[in-house]
Amino acid sequence: MRVLVADKFEKSGLDGLAAAGCEVAYLPEAKDDALVAAIGRERPEVLVVRSTKVTAAMLDAGPLALVVRAGAGTNTIDVAAASERGVHVANCPGRNSIAVAELTLGLLLALDRRIPDAVADLRAGRWDKKEYSKARGLHGSTLGVLGLGAIAVETIRRAAAFGLRIVAWSRRFAGEDRPLAVAEARALGLEAVHQADPIRLAPTPAEVAARSDALTVHLALGPETRGLVDAGVLGRLKPGAIFLNTARSEVVDAGALEAAARDRGLRLGLDVFAREPAGGAGAFDDPIVGLPLVYGTHHIGASTEQAQEAIAAETVRVVRSYVESGRVPNCVNLARESDATHRLVVRHRDRPGVLAHVFRCLRDAGLNVQETDNLVFEGGQAAVAHIFLEGVPGDAVLDAVRAGHPDILEIRVVAL
């Protein structure tokens, strides 16, 4: 199977793909029209990208069946176009969680102690112990967390070690104002944190902000989260509070954030910006970084060696599974709910042509197949197929299936 890797990728990942039996073309600089041409030339079945945009033109340029995002989000991939073409899109969720959480806490500590400014003054030959002794300290303050995914969980664990109390909101608990239940904390992997100092749920993002000394964003970007952190949320933060975003810039209203930093003295720690350069390097002119006490990094939250090795290993696992079984772990664009109304169960001898006969009967009856699997019993003599249908197979269809092939052992219909 041919795999095209169109971004920088760890050698361990390239070696792992080769060990899985793949022919690997490594073109980390291929972008836009050049990538369209490369797909047409290399004819890969699998495309691996990191930050490279994947467009409909690329999906049409060759026989792609799988696009793997070597990272968590898939917002750089035209997932709708992939779904229209029957192309799987998979990602590597959770593999960079610790790296992003570490950067989040680094920004929080840097803002409290003004570390970048202190370093800059030292390098400029200025010693000002009195000025840089002014710090509030973090122990006993409240960290608000928007989101309760893998990165948020790792951030909470580390924040709790610094003695911060936690108040959180996520879409799964929207509207709830209560302590997190022990079973819920256990399911999230936060039971030890919760037992030491109970994590509270707040009903809305604005209410989280109102209860927080610092607010950190760990939300995936989607239609329901775009611009979620707006002037109403930011306005509930105390003057001088800390705001952290190592998730996606589009989750936050950029104008409202700049105004809050300028007019209310919010201290910002940002790894993502509304006006980032398109590539890995270039001119950067976002005015927000010119404001006092705005500390930023270069969208590098996931960019530790540990995280990239873990993502490479997960990418190899996804591709290997597809090569060996046709199944795609972490696939993001399969229908979550089927339109199937009935399941046709066909027990049969494992012989050529049996299922072809069944599908021919279903086609002639105008019944659409939503999903199917065929499980072979030990010894390879018999199998059972489960065929999920949009519609009811009537008696005439069942009779045609039974009578039309000698290797049909049993057939029955189950309403869903």
- Contact present, 295 and 110 (Cβ < 8 Å): yes
Please list, in sequence order, all residues whose beta carbon lies within 8 angstroms of the beta carbon of residue 312, skipping any fewer than 6 positions away. Answer: 9, 10, 12, 13, 16, 70
In whole angstroms, give the CA distance from residue 144 to residue 218.
Answer: 11
Catalytic residue among 194, 299, 348, 405: 299
Q: DSSP for 270-327?
A: ES--TT--SSSS-----GGGGSTTEEE--S-TT-SHHHHHHHHHHHHHHHHHHHHHS-
Catalytic residue among 23, 29, 131, 276: 276
In whole angstroms, give the CA distance from residue 261 to residue 295.
Answer: 11
R_g (Cα) of the chain, nearest Å: 27
Let me know how long the chain is. Answer: 416
Catalytic site includes residue 378:
no
- Contact present, 68 and 318 (Cβ < 8 Å): yes
In whole angstroms, give the CA distance from residue 34 to residue 40.
Answer: 10
Burial label for 369, CB within 10 Å (0-12, 13-18, 19+), is middle
Catalytic site includes residue 299:
yes
Token output for 234? 């930011």
Q: What is the 3-state secondary structure (H, E, C) of 99-168?
A: HHHHHHHHHHHHHHHCHHHHHHHHHCCCCCHHHHCCCCCCCCCEEEEECCCHHHHHHHHHHHHCCCEEEE
- Contact present, 61 and 44 (Cβ < 8 Å): no
Catalytic site includes residue 371:
no
Catalytic residue among 248, 267, 348, 405: 248
Give the residue numbers annotated as catalytic, written as ranges.
248, 276, 299
